């Protein structure tokens, strides 16, 4: 905006983010390129009203974002709910292997999903510390943008803002059809 000579207050930008971030996220979902069958799943912390909340995220082995979910608690049922959400996405395919950290809830979620036949019985769960570096590095990009905001004032505001941040990250990574990597102006 400054390049075009338009003075805009930061609160105006925040209102635009809250209004349009969800819409951008919704609109690009139908145009995402297919991802591969090797997933990396992890969670990170986001500060909301002085309390830490959990942001579950998944990327494929090439670093393409599969999906994300913000949660107020770190309950045992959340990983299975998150896996279901990722599996329902149109741009994802059933995973061959899922790499996670040492969180004890992931094996339970995998067992539950295999029992329901939501996941194939052949899907492998790898709990290895260093194989999950790809998702941990991807968390850094989100944290880099969220940190200057000094936390969020409400859970809903955080969820809506994170949708926009994740959507723009997908555009930047070149996950949207007809848009090349790094060409977010398109």
In-domain check, residue 86? yes
C-alpha angle 159-29-32 in degrees, rounded to nearest 5: 130
In-domain check, residue 42? yes
Range of 56's domain?
34-152
8 CB-near residues (< 8 Å, 6+ apart): 1
> Which of these, 57, 137, 44, 45, lies nearest to 98 by C-alpha position?
57
Domains held by the chain: number = 1
Instruction: Indicate the pairing of strand 124-127 with strand 65-71.
Output: unpaired
What residue has token string 């002085």? 50
pLDDT for 184 equals 62
Long-range contacts from 159-164, C-beta under 8 angstroms, 24+ separation: 159/70, 160/17, 160/18, 160/21, 160/22, 161/17, 161/18, 161/21, 162/46, 162/55, 162/68, 162/70, 163/21, 163/22, 163/24, 163/25, 164/17, 164/20, 164/21, 164/22, 164/24, 164/25
The residue count for the chain: 186
In-domain check, residue 169? no
Q: How far apart are the first and last CA of the chain?
A: 17
Asked if residue 126 lies in contact with residue 100, where contact means CB atoms within 8 angstroms, the answer is yes
The predicted-structure confidence for 80-131, as pLDDT tens digits, reads as follows 999 999 999 999 999 999 999 888 899 999 999 999 999 999 999 999 877 7
Per the structure block, which two tokens stand in for 96? 């061959």
CATH number of the domain encompassing residue 71: 3.30.420.10
C-alpha angle 46-49-52 in degrees, rounded to nearest 5: 35
Share of the chain above pLDDT 90, in %: 58
* pTM for the full predicted model: 0.87
In-domain check, residue 12? no
In-domain check, residue 27? no
In-domain check, residue 170? no
Q: Strand 38-48: give its sheet, edge to edge.
A: 65-71, 51-60, 38-48, 97-100, 124-127
In-domain check, residue 80? yes
Q: Which helix (H) or strand (E) holds 16?
A: helix 10-29
pLDDT for 102 equals 86
In-domain check, residue 55? yes
Q: What is the DSSP letter of 128?
A: -
The rounded average pLDDT for each run of 10 residues, N- to C-terminus, in the chain (186 residues) is 84 87 91 93 91 93 92 88 93 93 90 93 89 83 85 91 92 86 67
Per the structure block, which two tokens stand in for 16? 């635009």
């Amino acid at each position: 905006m400054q390049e075009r000579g338009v003075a805009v207050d930061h609160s105006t930008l925040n209102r635009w983010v809250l209004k349009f971030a969800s819409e951008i996220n919704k609109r690009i979902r139908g145009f995402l390129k297919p991802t591969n069958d090797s997933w990396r799943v992890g969670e990170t912390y986001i500060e909301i009203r002085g309390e830490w909340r959990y942001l579950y995220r998944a990327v494929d082995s090439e670093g393409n974002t599969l999906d994300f979910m913000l949660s107020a608690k770190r309950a045992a049922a959340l990983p299975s709910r998150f896996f279901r959400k990722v599996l329902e996405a149109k741009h994802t395919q059933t995973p061959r292997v899922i790499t996670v950290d040492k969180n004890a809830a992931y094996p339970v979620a995998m067992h539950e999903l295999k029992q329901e036949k939501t996941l194939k019985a052949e899907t492998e769960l790898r709990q290895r510390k260093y194989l999950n570096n790809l998702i941990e590095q991807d968390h850094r990009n989100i944290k880099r943008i969220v940190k200057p905001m000094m936390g969020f004032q409400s859970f809903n505001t955080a969820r809506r803002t994170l949708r926009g941040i994740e959507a723009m990250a997908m555009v930047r990574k070149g996950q949207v059809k007809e848009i090349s990597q790094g060409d977010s102006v398109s």
